[in-house]
């Protein structure tokens, strides 16, 4: 049974976006991060949590604790759609392999161009193949 697919189906069906899904060793803790354009409230988390709890009972998913929350101000960017949606925002990006002795980059996300993430840095615009991006997060602006 693919728990991630079950979670994504429920979250999408409720009108939210599944940002991330994490499990602890032996899947005793399940963490679900949800988002939507208008933002996430505590009531949204409770709604998703209640629905998932019922689903896990029906599907016999064995776990001890379920946590549902927003991804936070430093939301991770994982899908191509994330890099398109958050164009114009400040991000931190880490590549799988060094590019010119550097793996960590920070700048303004331009968006996706020909399958690559384009980032405007102090050195100018740089393209990073999507498959080479290990990790990317929004940088909160206060």
Q: What is the reported pLDDT for 3?
A: 87
Q: Is 75 a domain residue?
A: no
Burial 22-61 (b: 16+ CB within 10 A, else e): eeeeeeeebebbbbeeeebeeebbebbbebbeeebeeeeb
pLDDT tens sequence across 79-110: 999 999 999 999 999 999 998 899 999 999 99
Q: What is the reported pLDDT for 100?
A: 85
Can you give the CATH number for the domain in which 64 is found? 3.30.300.70
Phi–psi pair at 91, nearest 5 degrees: -135, 160
Residues 91 and 62 in one domain: no
Q: What is the reported pLDDT for 1?
A: 64
Q: What is the reported pLDDT for 28?
A: 87
Q: What is the reported pLDDT for 61?
A: 87
Domain region containing 118: 80-138
Q: Is 41 a domain residue?
A: yes
Q: How many domains does the chain have?
A: 2
Can you give the CATH number for the domain in which 99 is found? 2.30.30.180
**Among 21, 41, 69, which residue terminates a domain?**
69
Q: Give me the residues of the chain with pLDDT under 70, please.
A: 1, 27
């Amino acid at each position: 049974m693919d728990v991630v697919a079950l979670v994504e189906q429920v979250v999408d069906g409720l009108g939210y976006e599944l940002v991330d899904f994490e499990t602890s060793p032996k899947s005793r803790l399940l963490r679900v991060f949800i988002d939507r354009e208008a933002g996430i409230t505590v009531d949204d988390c409770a709604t998703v949590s209640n629905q998932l709890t019922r689903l896990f009972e029906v599907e016999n998913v064995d776990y001890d604790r379920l946590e549902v929350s927003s991804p936070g101000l430093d939301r991770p960017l994982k899908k191509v759609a994330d890099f398109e949606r958050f164009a114009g925002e400040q991000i931190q990006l880490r590549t799988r392999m060094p590019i010119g002795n550097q793996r960590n980059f920070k700048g303004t996300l331009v968006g996706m161009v020909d399958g690559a993430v384009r980032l405007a840095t102090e050195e100018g615009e740089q393209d990073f193949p999507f498959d080479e991006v290990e990790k990317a997060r929004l940088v909160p602006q206060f």
